Amino acid sequence: FIPSRQGSVQSFGSDSTFAGGCEGEAPGGAKINEYQAAWNVTNAIQGMFIVSLPFAVLRGGYWAIIAMVGIAHICCYTGKILVQCLYEPDPQTGEPVRVRDSYVSIAKVCFGKKIGARVVSIAQIIELLMTCILYVVVCGDLMAGSFPDGALDTRSWMMLCGIFLLPLAFLKSLHHVSLLSFWCTMAHLLINAIIVGYCLLEIGDWGWSKVKWRMDFENFPISLGVIVFSYTSQIFLPTLEGNMEDRSKFNWMLDWSHIAAAAFKALFGYICFLTFQNDTQQVITNNLHSPGFKGLVNFCLVIKAVLSYPLPYFAACELLERAFFRGKPKTIFPVVWELDGELKVWGLAWRLTVILGTIMMAIFIPHFSILMGFIGSFTGTMLSFIWPCYFHLKLKGHLLDQKQRAYNYFIIFLGVLFCVVGIYDSGTALIHAFEIGLPF
């Protein structure tokens, strides 16, 4: 198994299709057990964006910690009901039979073939491209935090890091890059352990009274968006469940992976905030006091971000090429690939344009935590809250009791509330942050 998504993508091999088109099972009949599946989910919901969770506690206090646990429960529930929508009872035996195989196939039934596929694909493309932008933004934040008195500012660091992303347009396969994903994740877990260890050594100076119960209505919705974004995994769960050796253990796997994620995120955010208190920065590693130690940790995270970028980038390119570059009459543009499997010259230019577009967007919207809150409030609530519950009510509503239906409607209400308020607040914060400029 190859973990691959830091947000919403999962790859099962070098030639795999991604979230938008990941229908069917693993190539070659490859299967994974429940522990491998749990690792894949854990890799998706405990990626490098966890470094922003202490900043969420700064904004939301104890309510942010409660949200980390509550949103984990909701996302675990919506993941289960989404997979339930893949099944229909057999007319003869009554046993559940898997008749659908992806998020898109469920959306086609509920929204219609054309609209369903387009709506989900657009949401996926937005989230994937925004994830790419976030990787560039976090590179700039980390490097600027490591060299606060250097000649380069945050935007300059983003452009410099972006240079190392341009060769990705020449790659035809993610196989070699995906192999690095496992070790990137291992390195990040090691960094998390180092940060937690550092905080524990400072326990004598923890600011226990700094965590408040008072809710900051202006900034708390941004924190909610950050937390929702960190739990988004629904998009690949249908494919993951379809590739399990024993599908009956899917719910068990999902429960424990989300319990572990909720416990770690809540503790990580809490003890890091207790350590750095009101000085907590958007990326927690920038709070490390030793310049050399901070620089080493940040440099490792930058390498991880650069190596993680290809996965959502390739997924976004594949979705965009499915939508626009399949040749007439299917699409308005011709295919980007030659018959021998090589990229056409203009196809290479197209892929370079995607990379440059994400770098330029990062430069123009260089505020990591606010941008992540915006994405979580928009696509995160749709993919993780609203749509799974709507699909469940539409396909399984006649089988649900009143309590189950009420809970689904409650999650939809929460999703709409988080979406509207979060988009407004994070959008306003982005405009304000853009006006005052960068802190570096």
Short-list 120, 367, 78, CA closest to 222: 367
Q: Which domain holds residue 428?
A: 34-436
C-alpha–C-alpha distance, residues 68 and 291, integer Å: 31
Let me know: does 133 contact 270? Beta carbons within 8 Å: no
DSSP string, 29-68: G--B-HHHHHHHHHHHHSSGGGGGHHHHHHHHTHHHHHHH
The pLDDT score that the predictor gives to residue 131 is 83
CB 78 within 8 Å of CB 384: yes
Could you tell me if residue 9 is inside a domain?
no
**Does the residue 316 lie in any domain?**
yes
Is residue 378 within 8 Å of 415, Cβ to Cβ? no
pLDDT of residue 343: 72
- Name every residue whose Cβ is closer than 8 Å to that of residue 235 and which is 6 or more positions away in sequence: 8, 9, 19, 103, 124, 127, 383
Contacts of 190 (CB under 8 A, 6+ apart): none
For 158-210, where are the E strands, in sequence order? none
CB burial of residue 261 (10 Å; 0-12, 13-18, 19+): buried
Give the separation between CA 227 and CA 376, rounded to whole angstroms.
Answer: 7
Where the chain has pLDDT below 50, the residues are 1-29, 439-440
Residue 10 lies in a domain: no
CATH of the domain at 398: 1.20.1740.10
Instruction: Let me know if residue 355 belongs to a domain.
Output: yes
Measure the CA–CA gap between 335 and 166, rounded to whole angstroms: 21
- Is the Cβ–Cβ distance between 139 and 368 less than 8 Å? no
pLDDT score recorded for residue 386: 92
Question: What is the DSSP track for 141-159?
Answer: HHHHHH-TTSS--HHHHHH
Q: What is the pLDDT of residues 96-133, one digit of tens each?
A: 888 988 888 899 899 888 888 788 888 888 888 888 88
Query: What does DSSP assign to residue 329?
Result: T
Burial pattern 273-302, b for ≥16 Cβ within 10 A else e, equals bbbbbeebbbbbbbbbeeeeebbbbbebbb
* pLDDT reported for residue 94: 78
**pLDDT for the residue 341:** 66
State how many domains the chain has.
1
Residue 7 lies in a domain: no
Answer whether residue 12 is part of any domain.
no
Q: Is 11 helix (H, G, I), strand (E, B) or coil?
A: strand
Question: Which residue do the tokens 């003869």 mark?
Answer: 92
Are the CB atoms for 433 and 370 separated by under 8 Å?
yes
402's CB contacts (< 8 A; 6+ apart) are none
In 3-state terms the chain splits into helix, strand, coil percentages (rounded to 5) of: 75, 5, 25
In a domain, 371, yes or no: yes
Q: What is the rounded CA–CA span in Å between residue 10 and residue 143?
A: 28
Q: Is the dihedral of CA 184, 188, 193, 198 positive or negative?
A: positive
Phi first, then psi: give them for residue 298, nearest 5 degrees: -65, -40
Per-residue model confidence (pLDDT) at position 173: 66
- Within 13 Å and on the Cβ side, how many CA atoms surround 199? 24
In a domain, 17, yes or no: no
